[in-house]
Amino acid sequence: MIPNRSPWLAQLNRSRPIVPLAEDRAADVAIVGGGIAGAVTAYFTLKNTDSSVVLIEADRVAHGATGHNAGQITSYFERPFESIVREFGLELASEGQRSIESAWGLLDEILADAALRTPVYRFTGYAGCSEFAQLVEHLEENKDRVAAGLAPETILIAKESGWEEALPLFYKDLYAMVPQEDLLALLETEDRRYFACIASQKGCMNSARFTEELMGYLMASYPGRFALFEETPVTRVVLSESHALLHTKPGHTVEARRVVLCTNGFEQFHIENQSGSDIDTNFHHLVQGRIGYMAGYLESMNAAPTAISYFPKGIPETGDPTGETYFYLTRRPHGEDAGEAKNLVCAGGPEQVLPNQALYTREDYCREDVRESLDEFLRTTYHHHPGTGTEYAFCWHGLMGYTPGGLRRIGIEPSNPVLLYNLGCNGVGILPSIFGGKRIARILSGETLERSIFDPVDQRCLT
C-alpha cells in the first residue's frame, strides 16, 4: 500500500501555527481557498487596492491541487487552440493565449516583490510525437498562432520519418527537418517511434512552497488588512445585493462586500442567491473531477532541469488510468540525499474520471497498477532511467476540476456581481491561476475589462 506522498508538501518548510476562524469577521473581500489561486488573488488585491482581505481555507494552505500537481510551468491549454479560435474568434482566442503567457511576467513580479526563495527553473521544454496526425495538430496550432500574431513554436521533424512528403505546402515555414538522432537527444529517449518534436518555453516550481511562502509574506506585509484562517470549511455562501455572508464550520461567519471562489471547483458548500436567479444548481455541475496520478524518484544530479511530454501511438480516450495515455516527465534539483545533490524525476499522465457524485479522498492510497505503468513508461522511454527495481521516493495523486469548455473561469458571476471566480484547474493551472489573480484584482479595483475567453458563463443560459 503506497500512501499519497507528494514531494511538494514534503518540502513545504511550514512553521506557522494553524489558526481557524474563532469569531465572526468582516472584510471588504473574502477569498475562499488557500491554493495558488487564492494566494495570488490575495496578493494582487492587497497590492492593487485598499481592500481588506480575509482568506478562508477548509484544510491547510497549498494542500489541494497546488500541493499535488506536476509542478510544470507551461502556457498551453488542455484543449486545441484551434477549437478556442472556432468558439471565440481569433482575436479573443489569441488575447486569451497572450494573457496566460503574460503570467510569466506576473510570476517574476511576485518573486521579486516578495523576495520569495522558492526556486523557479526556466528552460525550453519538448513534446514528442509518434504519429503523423499528432504532428498535423501541432502544425495547425502553429498556423493559428502565426495568424494571431503570437510567436510560433519550434517544430522539428525527423528526416527519416518520410512525413514531409505528405505535408501540404502551406505548413512549409512552420517546421524544420533534423536527423532523428538530434530529435531523440532533445526528447532524452532512445525510443525510435518518435519522429517529431515541439519546443516551447517551460519551467518548474514547487507551487505549494511558493503559495506557503507567499502567504507568509502577505501576513507579514499587510497585518492590518489581511487575515488567513485554515481548517475552516465554508459551508454556505449567502449573496445579497450588496454583500455576501459566508457560513463556516463550526459556526462563525464572514461578511464581505465581494467574495472570490478560488476553490478549484470542488467546494462542498451551497450558494444562496437572494438577489437574482439560482446559481447553486448549475455551479455544482460546472466541473468534472479527474484524478491525476504521479510518481517520482531521486537520481544523481546528472542533467539540467527539463520538462518533456510524450505522445505515444494510439491514445485512447478511455479514462482508464492504466490504459495508454500521454505521459510527461519533469526533472529538477531536489536538495541532498546522504550528502549527495539529487535531481527529482517525476512522471505523470494517467488520469481517472471521478464518477458523478463520487467523493475524492486525498488520503486514499496510490494505485499500484498506475505506479507500475509510470515505471514502465520511464524505463522504456527516459534514457537516464536506472532500470527495473527503481525505488520511487514519492507517489501521489491530486484532483483536477475540468470545466465544460476546458478553460479557467475568471471574473464576475453574471447573476450577482458580489460573487467572483478564479477556478477550474483544467490540468494546467499554475500560470492561469496567477493571471486570474491579477485579473480579479483589476476588477476589484473598479476597472472595466474587455471581454475574455475566461469570463464566467451566465448560469441562466445553462438551464
Ligand X SMILES: Cc1cc2nc3c(=O)[nH]c(=O)nc-3n(C[C@H](O)[C@H](O)[C@H](O)COP(=O)(O)OP(=O)(O)OC[C@H]3O[C@@H](n4cnc5c(N)ncnc54)[C@H](O)[C@@H]3O)c2cc1C
Q: Identify the H or E element spanning 441.
A: helix 430-444
366 forms beta bridges with 2
How near is the Cβ of 101 to ligand X at its closest, in Å? 13
Please tell me the distance from the alpha carbon of residue 274 to that of residue 362, in angstroms, as a whole number.
Answer: 34
For 299, the 3-state DSSP assignment is strand
CB 2 within 8 A of CB 397: no
Q: Per the omega criterion (within 30 degrees of 0), is the bond before 350 cis?
A: no
Residue nearest to ligand X (CB): 429
CB 458 within 8 A of CB 277: no
Q: Which residues bind ligand X (CB under 6 A)?
A: 32-38, 56-59, 63-66, 68-72, 74, 207, 233-234, 262-264, 266-269, 292, 294, 348, 398-400, 423, 425, 427-430, 433
Q: 139 or 411: whose CB is closer to ligand X?
A: 411
For residue 18, count CB atoms less than 10 angstroms from its CB and return exposed for 0-12, middle for 13-18, buried for 19 or more: middle
Q: 39 or 418: whose CB is closer to ligand X?
A: 39
Q: 59 or 160: whose CB is closer to ligand X?
A: 59
Other beta carbons less than 10 A from residue 366's beta carbon = 21
Q: 139 or 434: whose CB is closer to ligand X?
A: 434
238 forms beta bridges with 245, 272
How near is the Cβ of 446 to ligand X at its closest, in Å? 24
How near is the Cβ of 160 to ligand X at its closest, in Å? 31
Q: 298 or 430: whose CB is closer to ligand X?
A: 430
Q: 6 or 51: whose CB is closer to ligand X?
A: 6
How near is the Cβ of 70 to ligand X at its closest, in Å? 3
247 forms beta bridges with 236, 253
Q: 155 or 228: whose CB is closer to ligand X?
A: 228
310 forms beta bridges with 128, 327
How near is the Cβ of 246 to ligand X at its closest, in Å? 9
In angstroms, how far is the first alpha carbon of the chain from the final one? 44
- C-alpha cell recorded at residue 326: 500521454
Q: Which residues contact 121 (CB under 8 A, 6 or more apart)?
A: 203, 204, 205, 305, 332, 333
How near is the Cβ of 99 to ligand X at its closest, in Å? 14
Q: 180 or 273: whose CB is closer to ligand X?
A: 273
Q: 94 or 207: whose CB is closer to ligand X?
A: 207
Q: Which residues contact 323 (CB under 8 A, 6 or more apart)?
A: 316, 350
Other beta carbons less than 10 A from residue 243's beta carbon = 17
Q: 158 or 346: whose CB is closer to ligand X?
A: 346
How near is the Cβ of 425 to ligand X at its closest, in Å? 4
Please tell me the distance from the alpha carbon of residue 11 to that of residue 5, in angstroms, as a whole number.
Answer: 11
Other beta carbons less than 10 A from residue 249's beta carbon = 15
For 297, the 3-state DSSP assignment is strand
Phi, psi of 265 (to 5 degrees): 115, -20
How near is the Cβ of 158 to ligand X at its closest, in Å? 27
For 236, the 3-state DSSP assignment is strand
How near is the Cβ of 286 to ligand X at its closest, in Å? 13
- C-alpha cell recorded at residue 157: 521533424
How near is the Cβ of 138 to ligand X at its closest, in Å? 19
